[in-house]
Chains A and B, each alone.
Chain A
């Protein structure tokens, strides 16, 4: 993607994000979220984040072939446990990267 089209993409996302943030503050009283959408929005973060995480862990090189010896899988599982117990971003990153490096070193 060229530099120019990249800027176009970023402008579009920036404008859209600003519109989402401004929405109800600008149109207070005349804008309402339908109840089903309000409930659906509750599940957006969990669903989107998981959809970003899982393929990136399972397919490190974007090759759609499952590989049990992929060290990212145990590293991600350990990191997930740490995130669950501690809720700390930093610890999650440290344990995840530490496990990955240790496994890569062990596999040679």
Chain B
């Protein structure tokens, strides 16, 4: 697509991102409802939402605050969850690093999974050139507005939801919805099985430290299985790809 102007590129970015906002609405509602249910004030909740701008980290931190986890564990877990942005940053950098800081800093803050996916699709099919920034911002601002509105709606709903509905269970369910589609091969599956089982076994470790230890164990399991399967001739090529699907 050839853009007439920066505004045109921005509007097109916003347009392509708008259907994706529906995917984050359940997470936003859960984050808002959970925070309100814990008695967190709307100001603190929205402050947290603006500072994090990361749904999975926010929901995980709310869960850990409920469990009375050690602050250090909370910070480390949240940052480990957000490590994926390191890879996004590395893959966006060739297209965006030349911009001035007044643009790279806001665009970095607004980096989200959906924005990364849309932007990399566009750069694969052909460079956006000088329209890279407005296109990116159109998509990113749309996701940001959608996310914040969803959390806000959750905050106002939350106070009205009775305990008996067991809405806490939406937290592991929402993580399941993120986890399962990502299990594409034996190595990611092993990482998940090891991480999950170790976390269950290590539940008695104080302050949720078991969570971090289990995550590390899961990553190691993934690397080991990846390494083992590389040594098997049968695992090479298309067979390894098909097996997971």
The reply to whether B71 and A76 form a contact with Cβ atoms under 8 Å apart is no
Q: Smallest Cβ distance from A63 to chain B, in angstroms?
A: 9
B150 touches A (CB below 8 Å)? no
B93 touches A (CB below 8 Å)? yes
Q: Smallest Cβ distance from B170 to chain A, in angstroms?
A: 6
List A contacts of B65 (CB < 8 A). 1, 6
Contact of A54 among B181, B182, B196 (CB under 8 A): B196
Of B86, B173, B214, most A-chain CB atoms within 10 Å: B173
The reply to whether B172 and A44 form a contact with Cβ atoms under 8 Å apart is no
Q: Smallest Cβ distance from A19 to chain B, in angstroms?
A: 9
Interface size on B, residues (CB 8 A): 93
Interface size on A, residues (CB 8 A): 68
Q: Smallest Cβ distance from A31 to chain B, in angstroms?
A: 8
Of B81, B104, B189, most A-chain CB atoms within 10 Å: B81
Complex Cα gap A80–B182 (Å): 12
A51 touches B (CB below 8 Å)? yes
Task: Knowing A53-B175, A93-B174, say if A46 contacts B67 (CB, 8 Å).
Answer: no
List B contacts of A21 (CB < 8 A). 82, 85, 88-89, 108-109, 111
Chain A, residues 1-28, CB within 8 Å of chain B (1/0): the string is 1010111011111101110111111101
The reply to whether B195 and A50 form a contact with Cβ atoms under 8 Å apart is yes
* Chain B residue at minimum C-beta to C-beta distance from A96: B173
Contact of A25 among B67, B93, B182 (CB under 8 A): B93
| A interface list, Cβ under 8 A from B | 1, 3, 5-7, 9-14, 16-18, 20-26, 28-29, 33, 36, 38-60, 62, 64, 72, 75-76, 79-80, 83-84, 87-90, 92-93, 96-97, 100-101, 104
